[in-house]
Structure 1
Amino acid sequence: MKVLRASLGVDKHSTAKDDVISNMKKVDVMDKYLATLGKKVKGNEVRKAVKEIFGIDLHLISKEDIGTTVSAYDPAVMETLRLYLKLDKNDTNRDTDIMNMSKNDVMDSYSKMYEHKLSGKDLRVLINHIYGVNLDGISSLEHARLSINSKGQWIVKSDLDLIILTSSRDDVEVFVAPTDYYVEITGSTYLPDSLIEKLSSMGFTYDKTTNSYYYVNPIGESIPDAFKGQTIGAIVGTLATEFPPN
């Protein structure tokens, strides 16, 4: 907050602009904060910023080796890491070594190849590729009334949220269920029919035990971003139609 206040032209101890800061999108807060750190921003500084701004612990994801489960990272990431290992960008002989690196080391090695001068936007893309955390998407859901629990952490959460989306620690499975608040205001334990229809068409199955609709990626890898986006889009679209904001 001290850094952000100063960036807005007020004393770092003044709360005069705190309402402006609190209404900023989290990605904008991240960009403004990183810009104050100088031209070079190292991985540990980025991870600290993500934890402070979004409440997401990337270090924990790396330490426990959870999050994205894939046979290889995005091609651009793999090519850069091969160059870091003094290989040709198309030489796959040490890809196993790359995939055995901690996620933090992958991020730091990639960033080092760009002299730690990646923009906030580029860093968010990188974080999504490595950790499976879509910060841009999360920032856009701040008032969507959708709770998200992923990789053992709350990504987005409010007491007034109506739907909860939970993914397994490796993102291979995803579950959609009503929140207690939804049950309270609707008197029903079932999701809206329109959402059930959308989820069913996407391959979700109802689990009576947990009263949730779930999907498991049949190839055993983390669910692709496109499918995650389609799922979230179906939920947010349904909430906007069935429960329009006052």
Structure 2
Amino acid sequence: MRNQIKTMAKNIVLFSTITTVALTGEVGSVFAAEAPAYSNTQAYEAQHIEQDAKYSKKVMRAVRVSLGVDAKSIQVDAVIQTMPKVNVMDRYLASFGKKVKGNEVRLAVKEIFDIDLNYVSKMDYGSKLASYPTDVMESLRVSLNEEPASTKQDARIMEMAKNEVMDRYLKEHDYALTGAESRVLINQIFGVNLEGISTLEHMQLAVSSKGQWIVKSDTDLFVLESSLDDVDVSIYTTPYFKEVTGSDQLPEPLKTKLMELGFTYNEEANLLYYKNPTGESVPDAFKGRVMGILIGTIVTEYKNK
């Protein structure tokens, strides 16, 4: 099972790289509930919160030490600010020691990505699945004193809070997962792809998922807004898009490409909407195609905006 996790970690890192380079990668749960009755522009503006510093003092101190300088030195701060967030997360997790528990991993996610996994677990948001991937299910079964292949406790597992699933899995693996392995696990349980999210910085694409802004900036052109269970997705333009293009309407080529994937266009709300007909969370492969189209549109049509 450990080898499976390592393999998946490598695959997600590769897929995230493809997102940036070839415009066909994936991102974590980026899907929206229903066509909102309110103005999308107003919602976007109302939820935008400026932050003075990218990372907290305790994160900066830990990463500075990992780079071989004094915890209070600002010598390498410029380097830290430009690091991919997954690299910052790895260095911050290392400051907790060789064994890292679930609450520490979730703290790192909150500190680095500003995503509150505790809130997601408490509210029972996240991926809507019939079961978790095989390696997760097998570990959880063992944690309940069952054989790895037994399905006797599967209903109980699927009713557990996501934090408990994560904590039990980590305990079964002696709290020894790497940062990359932890991110795979988070994607499997919470439906949050931190590898993909890390590549979206400065891509001018805002992502709202599970009641939180996952990625957001003043120069975003489009928004992907998710439902709490990742079954639905909405895509619409931002105020900045109107500022630089003179229109708030979704581009026709973008509409055409996404409608070919099964999206419908709501003219009154000016948004594209998709709902997975199976009732389960939208698969990662589909997310990757949507992300590729959106990022491709931004890079080719609006790269100088």
TM-score by structure 1 length?
Answer: 0.97
1:5 is the counterpart of 2:57: no
Tell me what 1:87 maps to: 146
Q: 1:245 offset after TM fit, Å? A: 3.9
TM-score by structure 2 length?
Answer: 0.79
Tell me what 1:47 maps to: 106
Give the structure, 1 or 2, with the largest relative contact order (CA under 8 Å, sep 6 or more). 2
Distance 1:19 1:79 in 2: 43
Greater mean alpha carbon deviation, residues 183-192 or residues 141-150: 183-192
1:140 is the counterpart of 2:214: no
Output the amino acid matched with 2:121: S
Distance 1:210 1:95 in 2: 41
Tell me what 2:75 maps to: 16
Tell me what 1:169 maps to: 228
Tell me what 2:136 maps to: 77
Distance 1:238 1:76 in 2: 37
Distance 2:152 2:67 in 1: 49
Tell me what 1:97 maps to: 156
Tell me what 1:152 maps to: 211
Tell me what 1:193 maps to: 252
Distance 1:171 1:143 in 2: 24
Distance 1:15 1:21 in 2: 10
8 Å CA contact 2:250–2:270 kept in 1: the answer is: no
SS at match of 1:148: strand
Q: 1:111 offset after TM fit, Å? A: 0.4
Q: 1:37 offset after TM fit, Å? A: 1.6
Q: 1:22 offset after TM fit, Å? A: 0.4
Distance 2:304 2:116 in 1: 31
Q: 1:8 offset after TM fit, Å? A: 1.4
Output the amino acid matched with 1:224: P
8 Å CA contact 2:62–2:91 kept in 1: the answer is: no
8 Å CA contact 2:234–2:273 kept in 1: the answer is: yes
Output the amino acid matched with 2:272: Y
Output the amino acid matched with 1:99: M
Distance 1:183 1:92 in 2: 53
SS at match of 1:39: coil
Q: 1:208 offset after TM fit, Å? A: 2.4
Tell me what 1:203 maps to: 262
Distance 1:119 1:198 in 2: 38
Task: Using the aligned pairs only, state the percent identity.
Answer: 54
